[in-house]
Amino acid sequence: MFIERFISAYWEAVMPLKVGDKAPDFELLNEELKPVRLSEVLKEGRPAILLFFPGAFTSVCTKELCTFRDKMALLNKANAAVLGISVDSPFALKAFKDANRLNFPLLSDYNRTVIAMYDVVQANLLGLPLFHLAKRAVYIVDPSGTIRYVWYSDDPRNEPPYDEVIEEAEKVAQLK
């Protein structure tokens, strides 16, 4: 019981990264079981939009990722690389991507290391001890690895401000 309370208190005390911070680098498997490293994506000279979402096949996550799919032409104008990140397995993410015809990679943070690095752990979801998912969050990282935009919600039912994300991605793309 002590360990569960300690871990929960830790997750609740951690604050999300902020604009101007250096984005932690990471490497995760995508839905095709291929490793994707943030620093390699940034080397392409494009901003990266990191979409943290709680779980594949849930109603709000499906709506969110499908909305970004449908706005991909606008994100392509901003030359942005979109990466969806959840704690689901690569196999679940593959099925989710295929079922929704998503046009960007989905990365599996199955060990929950990246959600901890980015301080977006949704701890004790539904009151279940040690049931930690990703908070719904968006980070835009410029090619130098600096965080230029942050949005997150403690309520997994809230969706990100899609138009604001696109506007910020366009601003970051113009920083070159």
Task: Report the catalytic residues.
Answer: 61
HSE value, Cβ hemisphere, 13 Å, CA-based, for 59: 2
Q: Are 84 and 54 in contact (CB under 8 A)?
A: no
- Residue 157: phi and psi, rounded to 5, are -85, -15
